[in-house]
Structure 1
Amino acid sequence: MSALAESAAAELGDPRLPRLVLRLAGPAVVGISAHSLQMVANALFVAGLGPAAVASVALVQSMTLAVAALGYGIGIGTASVVSRALGRGDGRAAGEAAALGLALTLPAGALALALLLPDVEAALRLFGAPASVVATARAYAPLAVIATAVMLVHIVGGFIARAEASARFSMTVMVGAFGLNILLDALFILGWGWGIEGAGWATLVSQAAAAAAYALYFRTGSGLRLRLCLRRAAGIVREILAVGASASAAALLAALSLVLLIRAAAAEGEAAVAALGLALRILDFGMLPVLGLCSGAEAVLGFAHGAGDRARLDRALRLVLAMAAAYALAWSTVAILCARQLLAPLAPDAATLALAVRASNAIETAFPLWAVAAVVLTRFQATGAAHRAAALSFAPQGCALPALLLALVPAWGFEGVVASRALADAAACLLALLLLAAGRRRDA
């Protein structure tokens, strides 16, 4: 095993679990929260351009989530294989998995560009954009799609860095990239008057800088020694995709659920679409720290599983569940009590603000339940429990949400849209606990 792999294994084997989880998750939380702050800052800049611009950003975000889903799947699958290999003491296999994970970003990015760029307007209409929003988003959407394809290197590189216990480097890249994005938003939108197109250029430049940082990181030997072994490549790729497919499915279904929600809200008008987008943006601000916690914890869970230490795996899971639930309860309380204050700076007018407050309050009630489901899903992904991860990824957003929208929207209108999202999160939590209990009985 290389010196770097030995160092990573020694760190991931630290017996002080709370300290280890915080040391790995802390930088991930900071970095991913920087993404959240960047999204809020972007919304502040775009809010001055009118409701159509706000709705455009919300719709394009749903489209680019489908692209980012590919990166999350590859990244989570690669991190699972890397951390379990380090747990077994196999540094060579960890380096091979890291190299293949990064290589997979090339066909994934090319596929996304081939599907979306030839006719961006048709893609926007498919995602539920009204005609006025399509016209506004025309200049922004292609840049956002290209930026998200470039972001795949950033996403996968970050998962690999955290899996090898280099969470601080991952944090540095994320904070730097999203900080640069904010600065460029201010320059391009306010300083140079490029409007919504400026937001697209800011995202593209900042993500290109992040991808360059990871290229330098691995090229200089600061990370795992990347190596390709054609003889073992097919097996490693299958292992990455077996775990990553559920993660990609979860992210794709999140994008699909956003499409379904926006299409349902569009029946209520442009203000309803903008309001839903703002409510979900505030929700994202709360969600991203939980995702950061899960991202940091994945390495701990995967390493324990790879080492065959079931007691350590269970202790780590209980610890992360407690941390996620406590934070989520605190955040949802603040978000509900301060909804108007949080949303007012982002809303272009009073009517949109009123709708956004109603939507946010309904969605935030189920946030702690979503947090529990997210941690359990991370446990399944980290340990290679692909079937359970796939079931938990698909059922809530793929089955429950469409059924709830069909049942509730005709009777309740906009309230039915937001209630459907909250109830789908509750269904995810229930299913997660059932699958976890069934898995424990099977493994006993």
Structure 2
Amino acid sequence: MEKEIRSDNPLGYVPENKLLRQFAIPSIIAMLVSSLYNIVDQFFIGNAVGELGNAATNIAFPLNTSCVAIALLMGIGGASTFNLSMGRGDSKGAGKYIGNSATVMLVLGVVLSAVTLLFLAPLLRFFGSPEEVLPYAMEYTRITALGFPFLILSTGGGHLVRADGSPKMTMAINIVGAVVNTVLDAIFVFGFGWGMTGAAAATVIGQVIASIMVIVYLSHYKTVPLHRDAFLPKAEVVLSVVSLGAAPCFNQLAMMLVQIVLNRTLKYYGGLSIYGESIPIACSGIIAKVSMIVMAFVIGISQGLQPIVSFNYGAKTYGRVKKSYFMAIRISAVICVISFVLFQAFPRQIISIFGNGSELYFDFGVNFFRKYLFFICLCFMQPISANFFTAIGKPKKGIFMSLTRQIIFLLPLLLILPRFMGIDGVMYAGPIADLVATIVCTILVVLEMRRPEFAKN
């Protein structure tokens, strides 16, 4: 049976480097384009509105992260359960994982949108908004919240499309949405002078168009037909999806929690420094979104790795699993090292792309850039390894890895170091967390590779 599966499905016999190229490149492009939603808004708002506008998008960012968390929970979870099921030869029941995932994404998106609109001002204050930034953040979020169901479906649905062997379609979905967003941003913000409202409206329209493309694709799924009953949620199916999507979801939720704590810490200790409350939050938002470009490469590679690893682990071809994993690690390491060099050499030039500011603004931004992202050269290990464990059906290890950097290490450091070092403590918390998380993840991967199925391959 194992031999038959490998001969019938390209995931079981095509060379690993070719498969990784085939799946990772579209995933990287999709992730890069997806990150453009936030970066493009930051660019137009920064140049049209200024520092307070930049700070407002950063305050609203945890809500965007929560959408991505839901999208990854059901998207990667649905894709992983689908591919594992296909790898075991169970094509009959595989379609229900795709249909259930799509339905739950839409339902959770509507719920999150409603909660956000009902408690908008308290939420934004809780996220750390200074009073002078709050009107801008409310203006922006009041509109983007309407797009949450579409953001979740377009982001998570891309994983379901890629699981069907259509990574280029996933790329197209993200590209179309981002291009629409960019063009409309230019028209609404610069052309019509709509500021925060224009940027938010452009974002939502792009997300709506991308989600329509996902729905159309799911109605013509290639691998297995998706009948109406596949979209009716069933507890056992949803729980299976959630168990394998939990690791990347928890990673995003951890990022959201850290972002909230980071904003509140920057607000408090910034207010005690020469920089004030808003400058640190504005600079932190820019740096977070720029680092997202690097992580788009790494996460795109990990997502491209997922179907290869899931299928071959299910088919018991462990040598192919091991080879694919280490190939992804090597490529990601090169990308992160190049990013480290650029971030250390050209921080002011990068910050300047997102608008002008005072000398204090640039002074803090350059300092924060160089210190907080000092160990970005190591940031490939945790996301790829967490996704690897999820893809082989070991979600508990994947969840633990997802929590190492953000929750177990960074969050306590953000609470402790500033008490002794002031706002500089925030800057040093990032690289320390990156270093320790990398060490822990490396140890867990080494132990896994010593297991009999991997050691003899």
TM-score normalised by L of structure 1? 0.94
**Corresponding residue for 2:153?**
153
* Residues 278, 347 of structure 1: 8 Å contact kept: no
Change (3 A) 1:108 1:38: closer
1:279 to 287, 290, 293: 287
Q: Distance in 1 between matches of 2:232 and 2:354?
A: 53
With over 3 angstroms needed to count, the CA separation of the structure-2 counterparts of 1:98 and 1:231, relative to structure 1, is closer
Q: Which residue of 2 aligns with 1:3?
A: none
- Cα distance, 1:442 vs. partner? 5.2
User: What does 1:153-172 correspond to in 2, within 5 Å?
Assistant: 153-172=153-172
User: CA-to-partner distance for each residue in 1:29-55, whole Å, 9 max, x for gaps?
Assistant: 112112234433322211120211110
Say what the alpha-carbon RMSD is for the aligned residues. Answer: 2.1
Shift in Å at residue 223 of structure 1?
6.4
Please give the alpha-carbon distance, in whole angstroms, between the structure 1 residues aligned to 2:233 and 2:110.
24
In structure 2, the residue matched to 1:429 is: 438
What's the counterpart of residue 45 of structure 2?
46
CA drift of 1:99 comes to: 0.7
Q: Is the 8 A contact 2:77 2:245 kept in 1?
A: yes
- Pairwise CA distance, 1:278: 1.2
Structure-2 residue corresponding to 1:417? 426
Q: State yes or no: 1:314 paired with 2:289.
A: no
What SS does the corresponding residue of 1:89 show, helix, strand or coil? coil
Q: Give the superposition deviation at 1:414.
A: 2.4
Which segment is superposed worse, 266-275 or 9-18? 9-18
**Change beyond 3 A, Cα 1:109–1:36:** closer
Structure 2 unaligned spans of 5+: 271-276
Deviation digits for residues 391-411 of structure 1 (CA, Å, limit 9, x no counterpart): 112233222122212221122
Specify the alignment match of 2:377 in structure 1: 368
Given residue 173 of structure 1, which amino acid in structure 2 is its aligned partner?
I
Per the TM alignment, residue 232 of structure 1 is displaced from its structure 2 partner at its CA by 10
Number of the residue aligned with 1:304: 312
Q: Paired residue for 2:62?
A: 62
8 Å contact kept, 1:63–1:127:
no
* 1:328-385 Cα deviation digits (max 9, x unpaired): 1112212221212111121431322221111111232221322111110110111111
Alignment coverage as a number of residue pairs = 439
Q: Which residue of 2 aligns with 1:247?
A: 248
Name whichever of 9-18 and 370-379 sits farther off: 9-18
Residues 151 and 348 of structure 1, relative CA distance in 2, 3 Å threshold: same
Amino acid at match of 1:43: Q
Do the aligned partners of residues 7 and 140 (structure 1) sit closer, same or farther apart at CA in structure 2, a change above 3 Å counting? farther
Pair 1:9–1:64, CA change in 2 (3 A): farther
Change (3 A) 1:231 1:286: closer
CA distance in 2, matches of 1:135, 1:255: 21
Whichever residue aligns with residue 336 of structure 1, its letter is Q
Report what 2:88 is aligned to. 88
Residue 294 of structure 2 contacts residue 335 of structure 2 at CA under 8 Å; is this kept in 1?
A: no
- Write the deviation string for residues 264-297 of structure 1: whole angstroms up to 9, x where unpaired: 1112121111111111121112111111111111
Stretches of structure 1 that go unaligned for 5 or more consecutive residues are: 1-5
Offset, 1:224: 4.3
CA–CA distance in structure 2, aligned partners of residues 333 and 93 of structure 1: 48
2 CA distance for matches of 1:283 and 1:412? 24
Residues 191 and 223 of structure 1: CA distance in aligned 2, closer, same or farther (over 3 Å): farther
Q: Is the 8 A contact 1:12 1:165 kept in 2?
A: no
Partner of 1:391: 400
Q: Distance in 1 between matches of 2:113 and 2:301?
A: 31
